[in-house]
Amino acid sequence: PYTKLSSDNLDNGFVQPPPLRVRLICELVGTCLFIFFGAGCATKTDNLLTVSAAHALVTVWLVYVFGPVSGGHFNAGATIAFAFDGKMKIIEVFGYLIAQAAGALLSGALLLALYGTGTTLGTPGLQPKVTVMHGFAIEFLCTIVLSFVICFTTAYNKHKEAAFPIGLVVFSSFLLGADRDGAALNPWRWLGPAVASGTYHSEAWIYAVGPIGGFLVGYILFRLYKWSWNFNRNTQFLQV
């Protein structure tokens, strides 16, 4: 999930930008499905490749399908970073966050119905020998990369084209972190299963602070990257 919202990217033959209500539906459904298929697989298996594939594949098709409509955030970090960009109104920012939270809670309920109690429903958690700082570093570093790549690819590509590289970054990140800190990369990915299964650990703040901080830093790095292009005015971006 998590691509940049831009009124310029009117893929899919729309004559006007999508209305807010439609975008909120997409954010709610997309966040729900990301957690449903991701955590739903992580509930059953701890095979690193399988769990990473599950999160990456759902990311690709969600961004492909919903990206052209809502921007495909599905992530509080992405929404806050783009709010920072100044292209979203306050009402939009809060709408996105509330829709995403509702989607996360809905997915938790679905997972609870499907797997019952007695499991963490794929709630991310630190594995043995992984310290809180290690877990925070994984969340923070991977979402910096994810945020930078989302800014980069959606600046020059349509969402449908960006879906594949963005999904691959998610794949790489989960291969790095899924068997270490559970690799949320997304506060909602933690929230949904955690609330539904009643799994709370004192270190759970890393799944909120890490991704939101990482998305902001990634966004700032992308601004710096663009600034370095135009530094001496010899070169200019055609777009962005």
Which residues are at the interface with a second copy (CB under 8 A)?
11-19, 21-22, 25, 33, 36-37, 40-41, 44-45, 47-50, 53-54, 57-58, 60-61, 64-65, 68, 110, 113-114, 134, 137-138, 141, 145, 149, 152-153, 156-157, 160-161, 163-165, 168-169, 171-173, 175-176, 179-180, 225, 228-229, 231-232, 234-239
Q: Pick the closer one to a second copy by CB: 91 or 200.
A: 91
Q: Pick the closer one to a second copy by CB: 156 or 205.
A: 156
Exposed / middle / buried, residue 96 (Cβ in 10 Å: 0-12, 13-18, 19+) = buried
Least distance between a second copy and beta carbon 146 (Å): 10
Least distance between a second copy and beta carbon 137 (Å): 6
Q: Pick the closer one to a second copy by CB: 94 or 228.
A: 228
Least distance between a second copy and beta carbon 76 (Å): 22
Least distance between a second copy and beta carbon 127 (Å): 10
Tell whether the torsion through CA atoms of 193, 198, 203 and 208 is positive or negative. positive
Q: Pick the closer one to a second copy by CB: 200 or 231.
A: 231
Least distance between a second copy and beta carbon 85 (Å): 19
Least distance between a second copy and beta carbon 200 (Å): 25
Using alpha carbons only, how large is the chain's radius of gyration in Å?
17
- What separation in angstroms does the CA of 209 have from each of 45, 135, 222? 27, 11, 20
Least distance between a second copy and beta carbon 25 (Å): 7
Q: Pick the closer one to a second copy by CB: 83 or 207.
A: 207
**The tokens of 149 are what?**
């790549």
Length of the chain: 240
Q: Pick the closer one to a second copy by CB: 18 or 95.
A: 18
Cα-based angle 164, 165, 169 (whole degrees, multiple of 5): 120
Cα-based angle 114, 115, 118 (whole degrees, multiple of 5): 150
Please report which residue ranges of 157-197 form alpha helices under DSSP H.
159-177, 187-197
How far apart are the C-alpha atoms of 26 and 72, rounded to whole Å?
8
How far apart are the C-alpha atoms of 217 and 3, rounded to whole Å?
16
SS (H, E, C) 28-42: HHHHHHHHHHHHHHH
Q: Pick the closer one to a second copy by CB: 83 or 140.
A: 140
Residues 6+ apart with CB under 8 A from 154: 3, 4, 6, 9, 162
